């Protein structure tokens, strides 16, 4: 447990603290941080190459300082790429829109690929979040992304793995874009 009362599983001081500092996530904003690489990586192909993904947390849940929205980074269990989510309340004007409409409505660097009334894996969050929310998300498994679990079949050409700090920045961008579309 860190000084803010959040349970943190994994090597916080040596690995995760510098990573979160790079991501711009202040310790007091952190809601949960979970590293389950042993469990997640066991579902990936046995010959998946080592890389940044083996030294990153698999779940990061925090409150964005500027918008107040909860953000979550979640690692896909088989392909090992990261996904980002922003949780907003039901009063938001984009509430109820389907993913295709949202994708056309929100000009983000990373296209929105998930819109739902609930978080896709609530059992992975150690702290409770308000599940009376709308969830907007994206994945880092586009054609231009390096996907560790697909290293043999889909990673041809120049591709980059999206790290936790990069995905945190994308979550922040999505949160700011969503806030700019909310009623003030």
Residue 130 has what pLDDT? 53
Evaluate if residue 80 carries a pLDDT over 90.
no
- Residue 109 sits at the vertex; the CA angle it makes with 184 and 59, to the nearest 5 degrees, is 85
3-state secondary structure string, 93-142? CCCCCCHHHHHHHCCCCCCCCEEECCCCCHHHCCCCCCCCEEEEEEECCC
Q: How do residues 91-119 score in pLDDT, each as one tens digit? A: 888 877 887 887 777 777 778 888 777 66
Q: Is the pLDDT of residue 67 over 50?
A: yes
Q: Render pLDDT for 3-42 as a digit per residue (tens, 0 to 9).
A: 444 555 555 565 677 777 887 887 777 777 676 554 444 4
- pLDDT value at residue 132: 53
Please report the pLDDT score of residue 151 as a whole number: 65
Q: What is the pLDDT of residues 5-14, one digit of tens each?
A: 455 555 556 5
Q: State if pTM tops 0.75.
A: yes
Q: What percent of the chain has pLDDT over 70?
A: 67
């Amino acid at each position: 447990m860190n000084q803010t009362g959040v349970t943190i599983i994994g090597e916080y001081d040596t690995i995760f603290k510098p990573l979160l500092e790079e991501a711009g996530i202040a310790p007091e904003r952190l809601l949960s941080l979970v590293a389950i690489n042993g469990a997640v990586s066991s579902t990936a192909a046995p010959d998946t190459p080592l890389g940044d993904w083996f030294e990153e947390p698999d779940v990061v849940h925090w409150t964005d300082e500027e918008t107040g929205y909860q953000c979550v980074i979640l690692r896909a269990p088989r392909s090992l790429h990261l996904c980002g989510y922003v949780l907003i309340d039901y009063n938001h004007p984009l509430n109820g829109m389907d993913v295709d409409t949202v994708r056309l409505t929100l000009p983000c660097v990373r296209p929105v690929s998930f819109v739902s009334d609930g978080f896709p894996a609530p059992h992975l969050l150690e702290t409770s979040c308000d599940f009376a929310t709308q969830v907007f998300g994206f994945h880092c498994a586009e054609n231009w992304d390096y996907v560790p679990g697909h290293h043999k079949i889909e990673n041809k050409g120049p591709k980059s793995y999206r790290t936790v700090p990069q995905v945190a920045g994308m979550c922040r961008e999505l949160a700011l874009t969503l806030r700019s579309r909310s009623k003030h």
